[in-house]
Amino acid sequence: MSALANHSFAKMNGIGNEIVVIDLRDGAAGIAPDDARTVAAIVPYDQLMVLQRPGLAGTEAFVRIYNNDGSEAGACGNGMRCVAQRVFAGSGKDALTFETRAGLINCWPGPSPDTFTVDMGVPKFGWQDIPLAEEFRDTRGIELQIGPIDAPILHTPSVVSMGNPHAIFWVDDIEAYDLGKFGPLLENHPIFPERANITLAHVVDRDHIVMRTWERGVGLTRACGSAACATAVAAARLRRTGRLVHMTLPGGKLTIDWRERDDHVLMTGPAELEYEGRLDPKLFGAAV
């Protein structure tokens, strides 16, 4: 029987990122990719955040992150804010630490009610760390394009790992491109052996970027927190912005601070509870 049968869940919103949080820290076993896909059919989501018993002392939970196609992600910034909102409630704590596939994630309340800051860790720029299928010494802009070689439609993306791979294409107008068409082609391009999140970004000024993302394993999304972090870092590496940037995504706004003293990327934004429910055991083949 699935650990999710008859289990409670929280449907949440992270600036348009549709998030489902399920707490299995009571001792229930983990879940399978088929379970994640079943949940997506019941409660549509971009990411499913499953809290399991922590493996390290001092941490609140091990968080497994599933895309709606059942694949696992290493990081989800918007989802971690939603997890933080659930765990902070009634905890009496002023900071939380979670384990993820991408490493330890620290969270604390933001500057206004229902906002939270997530420490997304240190970005990685090495071609093997992102990873890429071949060597590029300078990942601020790699040789990759869509369209005719003499007149490419999109070209020379910056690539960054924020616990998952990101490619950022710099454009003048993020709405001028059919991201629904180009996104899947680029996500699955052979240069990305683990696929990639694809972002179109426009630098408005030194502290403001607007962006849209095709999310690996999800598709077009109203928000992707790790993509916002990757985009802010990539812009700072190119000296197009400073290290503190306000990001405008289709679903809302985030503030990203690539902290200079230790290179950690801090993401601040809201998390909203939409409703709570319970998963019908019949959908998981369980007897009732």
Where in the sequence numbering do the catalytic residues fall?
Answer: 76, 224
250 vs 34: CA distance, rounded Å: 30
Which tokens hold the place of 243? 């290290």
Buried b / exposed e along 246-280 (16+ C-beta atoms within 10 A)? bbbbbbbebbbbbeeeeeebbbbbbbebeeeeebe
Helix (H) or strand (E) holding 164: none
35 vs 16: CA distance, rounded Å: 23
Q: At what angle do helices 225-237 and 77-88 cross, to 10 degrees?
A: 130
Which tokens hold the place of 286? 């369980």
Do the beta carbons of residue 17 and residue 223 sit within 8 Å? yes
Tell me the sheet residues that pair with 65.
49, 73
Distance of CA 164 to the CA centre of its chain: 8
Which tokens hold the place of 188? 């699955």
Closest CA to 49 of 59, 37, 63: 63
First CA to last CA across the chain, in angstroms? Answer: 11
Q: Which amino acid is at 68?
A: N
Distance of CA 161 to the CA centre of its chain: 11
Do the beta carbons of residue 282 and residue 2 sit within 8 Å? no
